[in-house]
Structure 1
Amino acid sequence: MLEQENIEYEKAVLVGIITQSQDEETSTEYLDELEFLTYSAGGEVLKRFTQKMDRPDPKTFIGSGKMEMVRQFVEEHEIGTAIFDDELTPAQQKNIERILKCKVIDRTYLILDIFSQRAQTSYARTQVELAQYEYLLPRLVGLWTHLERQRGGIGMRGPGETEIETDRRIVRDKISLLKKKIKSIDKQMSTQRGNRGALVRVALVGYTNVGKSTLMNAISKSDVFVENKLFATLDTTVRKVVIRNLPFLLSDTVGFIRKLPTQLVESFKSTLDEVREADLLLHVVDISHKSFEEHIASVNKILDEINSADKPTIMVFNKIDQYKAEDFDETDLTIERTTANYSLEEWQKTWMNKLGDRVLFISALNKENFDELRKKVYDAVREIHVTRFPHNHFLYPEYQETVE
């Protein structure tokens, strides 16, 4: 415990832009998330910089005036890292590093860094390593600062260029080897999934840090790592769960996030096989987060990408113990009422009502409304099981209201 208290956080600044497609409110939300990502990676954000632009500057992402402000702050406060909210091109990264004289990374690299810290199994580490090498490959030029004076042309194709080509070849070979390794592990995991028999498979899905692992622990009485950081759980955990006398398999998967790097979506496609092969999804949502509707949309987008959007789904709105509606004064006609003022009861009457009986509100931490959760999961699993084995229906009677 003492060790955690003595952790030295790396000082960082965040940089984002406000555009027509990303207004000020959205930019603030993204930077909030970026700050949480920075904290999860072991950094402390001292200041944020934003600039209104039509599009990012192709050379330095932000304008020269704003960049000078960032440089002065970095110098005065001995900042170690500048983190940009969007993916930087290799040229932008090189130019910014030259100006700021500190480490410059983007959102993609930050997420990759967190993933590399969180990966526990050989499989997860291999997936992260592959994503890192694929990110690194186009940026190799930026790593060779001694080539800055070489501009190409006759007589200028010196050993430096050969050095880059050699490194590119090494990285490409490494990528090829990692892909083969993942393919081999995929086959083993596919066999393992096949050996689980005919049990109904239920997968927990949702945005990162919504409480999936806490819910997994509460339902399966297992001991899955839980921490209030993004991507605390990276490796898929599968547990056999029994509600009443009905057994099924429950898996906890990696959390989704907005602006998830393409390299990671590709590398973790196989991890998401647990989702793809599931019979039922429990889509866990942190209803206490002001952007929970956007989180739902982000998760649905990735589910669509892996052809899992049309699976039977129960929407589990978690963290009701932390939900607080903003105060609204009905007598003040100058203030417009927004969804931020909705009570939980009012939320249930919105689009959530269309979900029918496949929606519930719980607190995984306090096990609030857990009887209702167990009933809904039991009924959904039973329905799938009876459809698969109609002659076994008498083994699993309708769920009784009395709790075990």
Structure 2
Amino acid sequence: MLEKKAIDYEKAVLIGVINKDQNDAKVKEYLDELEFLTYTAGGEVTQRFTQRIEVPNPKTYIGSGKMEEVQRYVKENEIGSVIFDDELSPAQQNNIEKILKCKILDRTSLILDIFAQRAKTSYARTQVELAQYEYLLPRLTGLWTHLERQRGGIGMRGPGETEIETDRRIVRDRIALLKKKLSKIDRQMETQRGNRGALVRVALVGYTNVGKSTLMNVISKSDVFAENKLFATLDTTVRKVVIGNLPFLLSDTVGFIRKLPTQLVESFKSTLDEVREADLLLHVVDISHPNFEEHIASVNQILDEIKSADKKTIMVFNKIDQYEAEVIEDDDLVTEKTKAHFTIEEWKKTWFSKIGDRALFISALNKENLDEFRKRVYDEVRDIHVTRFPYNNFLYPEHLDQY
């Protein structure tokens, strides 16, 4: 039997704040996601700290008493990174670093670090590098002393590793060069998209880790990398798929997330162009996640930002095999029934009913209900194709025995 390779996780602490915009339950949910992000980046969360504070401290984000509590824990437990759930200002990051004497990250820098790990192609690396530089530019003052003290680990990948670029002017020149490089690649990709001919384009969109890549593999019979970690997919993958006798292009795009850094939205503009130019969106949702409704809202918000919210969309509720409703015992007269207790059938009677046949329930991993899924996608793609090419109707029989 092969020995499992030990993974050396870096010890990390998470910090969140409770205020009028996010209550205790919301902060717990955000920190749960932040912990998953930390794990994806190679960290192990040993402690969480939360503080009820209406207005963040302009110098240290959290109050002095809480900061002392964090400081004691960091020192006693040899913590490598302290990660805040909200974006810190350059001054806050610098001040906190002087107090805690360890790496200080926020959600934005953590996501950028994960993207730096996941970027495999030259194009993805260029996109991530641009986003990193734009994030780091106002933080250069405190960054290099930080690097002299400790190198490597979470948040230390990419452009932050070269001390030679301490000069702001050089960094700005680098940003300009990267933008020029991306602009050239964008034009090339636009030409490639134009050369795909008249095929209908379908794009998979959704929150990160909802199973888009797994679904892509099942439909296209390809081998797109899929893993139970956040942002497993960065590069857009496009495959030609044939259902029945009808070919179309299917693209798997980068997963969305709450508080997605604006730097990434901008630098991944061309990747998101696959969504903008799609004829049909398959919005994949992890229905087994307790907060899937908020994930839907987050995705819809980003779709709105990239002017794609009005596209024809099918909601694909994935992971039905993992869905479990909380059970209320017959003799429990106290517990009030909430959405957490809904079965999938009960969910279908809520706002789901307004979607009608534009909602599908599948398990991509276990291949449940995929025949219904293929038929629905076929019908939608056929309608788009017939509308675009009304003289080719003879290609599509009214009834197909097999999809």
Same fold (TM over 0.5): yes
Q: Given that residues 320 and 363 in structure 1 are in contact (C-alpha distance below 8 angstroms), is that contact kept between their aligned partners in structure 2?
A: yes
Distance 2:98 2:2 in 1: 38
After superposition, give the CA deviation of every residue in 1:117-147 in whole Å (9 maximum; x if it has no partner).
Answer: 001111111110000000011111223659x
Local SS of the residue matching 1:272? helix
Distance 2:129 2:165 in 1: 20
**1:84-99 equivalence runs, <5 A:** 84-99=84-99
Match of 1:276 in 2: 276
Question: Structure 2 counterpart of 1:262, which letter?
Answer: T
**1:238-277 equivalence runs, <5 A:** 238-277=238-277
**1:115-194 equivalence runs, <5 A:** 115-143=115-143, 145=145, 167-194=167-194
Root-mean-square deviation (Å): 1.8
Local SS of the residue matching 1:357? helix
Distance 1:4 1:180 in 2: 44
Distance 1:315 1:393 in 2: 27
- What's the CA shift for 1:329? 3.7
Matched, 1:232 2:228: no
- What's the CA shift for 1:403? 3.4
Distance 1:145 1:216 in 2: 45
Matched, 1:403 2:402: yes
Distance 1:127 1:7 in 2: 28
Distance 1:344 1:258 in 2: 25
Q: Given that residues 141 and 164 in structure 1 are in contact (C-alpha distance below 8 angstroms), is that contact kept between their aligned partners in structure 2?
A: no
Distance 1:69 1:108 in 2: 24
Distance 2:165 2:185 in 1: 30
After superposition, give the CA deviation of every residue in 1:19-38 in whole Å (9 maximum; x if it has no partner).
Answer: 11111111011000000000
Distance 2:245 2:194 in 1: 23
Distance 1:82 1:2 in 2: 35
Match of 2:154 in 1: none
- What's the CA shift for 1:5? 3.1
- What's the CA shift for 1:334? 2.6
Distance 1:64 1:395 in 2: 71
Q: Which runs of 5+ in 2 are unaligned?
A: 147-162
* Alpha-carbon spacing, 1:166–1:5, altered in 2? closer, same or farther (3 Å): closer
- What's the CA shift for 1:180? 0.4
Distance 1:165 1:365 in 2: 46
Matched, 1:394 2:394: yes
Normalized against structure 2, the TM-score is what?
0.93
* Alpha-carbon spacing, 1:2–1:72, altered in 2? closer, same or farther (3 Å): farther
- What's the CA shift for 1:379? 0.1
Local SS of the residue matching 1:242? strand
Local SS of the residue matching 2:105? strand
- What's the CA shift for 1:322? 0.2
After superposition, give the CA deviation of every residue in 1:55-97 in whole Å (9 maximum; x if it has no partner).
Answer: 1111111111111111111111111111110111111111111
**1:268-347 equivalence runs, <5 A:** 268-329=268-329, 331-347=331-347
Normalized against structure 1, the TM-score is what?
0.93
* Alpha-carbon spacing, 1:394–1:4, altered in 2? closer, same or farther (3 Å): farther
Match of 1:195 in 2: 195
Distance 2:291 2:8 in 1: 31
Question: Structure 1 counterpart of 2:83, which letter?
Answer: I
Higher mean displacement: 64-73 or 195-204: 64-73
- What's the CA shift for 1:335? 1.9
* Alpha-carbon spacing, 1:87–1:399, altered in 2? closer, same or farther (3 Å): farther
Q: Given that residues 375 and 399 in structure 1 are in contact (C-alpha distance below 8 angstroms), is that contact kept between their aligned partners in structure 2?
A: no
Higher mean displacement: 212-221 or 53-62: 53-62
Distance 1:62 1:234 in 2: 33
Local SS of the residue matching 2:54? coil
- What's the CA shift for 1:166? 6.9
**1:328-367 equivalence runs, <5 A:** 328-329=328-329, 331-367=331-367
Question: Structure 1 counterpart of 2:402, which letter?
Answer: V
Match of 2:158 in 1: none
- What's the CA shift for 1:233? 0.5
Match of 1:152 in 2: none
How many aligned residue pairs are there? 387
Q: Given that residues 379 and 398 in structure 1 are in contact (C-alpha distance below 8 angstroms), is that contact kept between their aligned partners in structure 2?
A: no
Local SS of the residue matching 2:47? strand
Matched, 1:104 2:104: yes
Match of 1:156 in 2: none
- What's the CA shift for 1:277? 0.3
Q: Given that residues 140 and 166 in structure 2 are in contact (C-alpha distance below 8 angstroms), is that contact kept between their aligned partners in structure 1?
A: no
* Alpha-carbon spacing, 1:105–1:186, altered in 2? closer, same or farther (3 Å): same
Q: Which runs of 5+ in 1 are unaligned?
A: 147-162
Question: Structure 2 counterpart of 1:228, which letter?
Answer: N
Q: Given that residues 118 and 231 in structure 1 are in contact (C-alpha distance below 8 angstroms), is that contact kept between their aligned partners in structure 2?
A: yes
Q: Given that residues 81 and 105 in structure 2 are in contact (C-alpha distance below 8 angstroms), is that contact kept between their aligned partners in structure 1?
A: yes
- What's the CA shift for 1:399? 4.3
Match of 1:45 in 2: 45
Local SS of the residue matching 1:222? coil
Q: Given that residues 12 and 44 in structure 1 are in contact (C-alpha distance below 8 angstroms), is that contact kept between their aligned partners in structure 2?
A: yes
Distance 1:167 1:330 in 2: 68
Local SS of the residue matching 2:332? coil
